[in-house]
Structure 1
Amino acid sequence: MRIRPRRRAVVCPLRRIASACAVLVLVVPAYGCRAEFTPPGAPTPWPSEQARQWQWQWQLHGTLDPAVDADVFLLDPVATTAAQTAELRSRNRRLICQVHIGSVRADDPDASRLPAAVQGSTGRRPGSRWLDVRRWDDLEPVLADRFRLCRGKGFGAVALADADGYAQPSGFPLDFDDQLLFNRRLARLARSLDLSPGLVNDVPQVAALAPDFDFAVNEECVRLDQCAKLLPFADADKPVFHVEYTGSTDDFCVTTVGYGFASIRKQRTLNVWRQPCPLP
């Protein structure tokens, strides 16, 4: 009986070429256009030479307007669609997703994954509860998936909100070092998932955490007389995205732009309206 030689699987080079071309089509919208366009999933770069030249938009509610004249958009990763992020990326906008890492709301899609033992007192958001940041093994899988959602939708950076439970009546005996360890762990987790990490508020820990994070987001440092405490980011040529909800830009822009911040005036609802400070 004649034994036929076993056929070897052959991978067609044309198929490989076609796959590579498909990737290029996704990354570069048109030949020769926007060569600097960053593919989804890559961490957002923050060139030091542009540190004082950013314009930004923070929108969590209302219909997203991709035509806003801003370099950076800070958005809700659940409400924002992949089609919206794709449009913004086609305009060469840098995209930051906001993730609440220290609190959970009952209507969050992943709320059922967090055991009752890690949920404490009422948080600052309506319907939210503070989380026990000492319980890393319980929190890390859930927060990692929140970060993966950001990356999957095309965000390149993540802003960590509610990162100051230690300074709130959280229902847990959290201290400064508990929060510091948790925030640093999350910065490393973000980097491992190809996301640039940013710190929202948590001003008392800025000096300690500035080396671990790529940018800061701050609310009302002028009204609260805290702007000087954000200088560890600005002095390191890292962006400080700052917002005031009251006062006139004619008044506070002089201070914050002088510090090197990217400043805007917003309504507390964080809808589409914004009033930016002029660039220096």
Structure 2
Amino acid sequence: MQQVGVPAVCAAVVVLLAGCGAPDEPAAAPPSGPAVAALTGLPAGARVDYQLGGPYPPAAGVAGVVRDRTAAPAAGVWSACYVNAFQTQPGTTEWPADLLLHAAGGDLVEDPDWPGEFLVDVSTPAQRDRALDVVGPWLDACAAAGFTAVEPDNLDSWTRSDGLLDTDDAAAMARALTDRAHAAGLAIGQKNAPELTGAGLGFDYAVAEDCGRYDECTGYTAAYGTVLDVEYTDEGFSAACAVPGLSVQRRDLDVTLPGDPAYVAAWCPER
């Protein structure tokens, strides 16, 4: 989990699928296929709850949730399935050692901000095929469980690879993931990596973290009609709430459960 302007945006989280255009320019064509059916059904400005620390009953007014792939979707609301597609989850053994990225000295390349998360090696077509052999069944399982969308995290892992991966590697893996998700009937969201917005990778919507804090929100809303943003600071939350058409939630960094002293969950008050 990791963590720029253009004119006004057109829609809110996970609902209005027409793309945004600058004044006097035609809007981009909406996505087609199974992703359309998966994304419709939420009102503009819908509240979506980021529940990665564990599932819990959605609060009143919440119309969608994002949950880990190991959890069940929430009954009666739009549900997206979180998958760590470009890095490992701490303590997991699902990735073969030779499919992880190694530095010149042989050490695994670890995310500096998230101990225990090691980067997946997507530097060659063969390695990307092998990575898809791991992640693809997770996407299929998300669809079978009843999720309507998937959020593959750490698309931007190349920025933490000490130059061993690049944007082309990330983009090629992203295309493989979007194809697999659509084949399973899932919509798929671009997670972070504003540098890759508008790159034609097949994503249907975007999920940003701290785009208000880093003044990146309009980079996403210019490329997607559907953008969900999670802010981890009060300052970023305030800034993101000022962006038209953006669905924003304030969360604590560890996305804890209700009842935990660190738990924080709030949405823009005017929405």
Would the TM-score normalized by the shorter structure come out above 0.5? yes
Aligned counterpart, 2:88: 104
Distance 1:192 1:65 in 2: 30
AA partner of residue 217 (structure 1): V
Counterpart contact for 1:219–1:243, Cα < 8 Å? yes
Counterpart contact for 1:240–1:262, Cα < 8 Å? yes
Counterpart contact for 1:219–1:242, Cα < 8 Å? yes
> Percent identity, aligned pairs only?
23
TM-score (norm 2): 0.73
Matched positions, count? 221
Aligned counterpart, 1:251: 238
1:74-98: CA deviations, max 9, x gaps?
00111x14xxx3xx22x2x001011
AA partner of residue 251 (structure 1): S
CA RMSD of aligned residues (A): 2.5
Residues 164 and 177 of structure 1: is their aligned pair in 2 closer, same or farther, counting only changes over 3 Å?
same
Aligned counterpart, 2:180: 189
TM-score (norm 1): 0.71
Distance 1:127 1:140 in 2: 21
- Long gaps (5+) in structure 2: 1-33, 103-108, 258-263
* 3-state SS of 1:45 partner: helix
Distance 2:89 2:203 in 1: 26
Counterpart contact for 2:83–2:150, Cα < 8 Å? yes
Are positions 1:72 and 2:59 aligned together?
no
Aligned counterpart, 1:242: 229
Aligned counterpart, 1:45: 38
Distance 1:118 1:250 in 2: 35
CA apart distance, 1:186: 0.7
Structure with greater helix percent:
1
- Return the index of the structure with the highest Cα Rg: 1
CA apart distance, 1:184: 1.4
1:93-146: CA deviations, max 9, x gaps?
0010110110113622523xx242433300243211101113112111111111
Residues 181 and 253 of structure 1: is their aligned pair in 2 closer, same or farther, counting only changes over 3 Å?
closer
AA partner of residue 118 (structure 1): L
* 3-state SS of 1:212 partner: coil
Which residue of 107, 114, 118 maps to 1:129?
118
Aligned counterpart, 2:156: 164
Spell out the pairing of 1:206-225 with structure 2 (5 A cutoff): 206-209=197-200, 212-225=202-215
Distance 1:73 1:106 in 2: 23
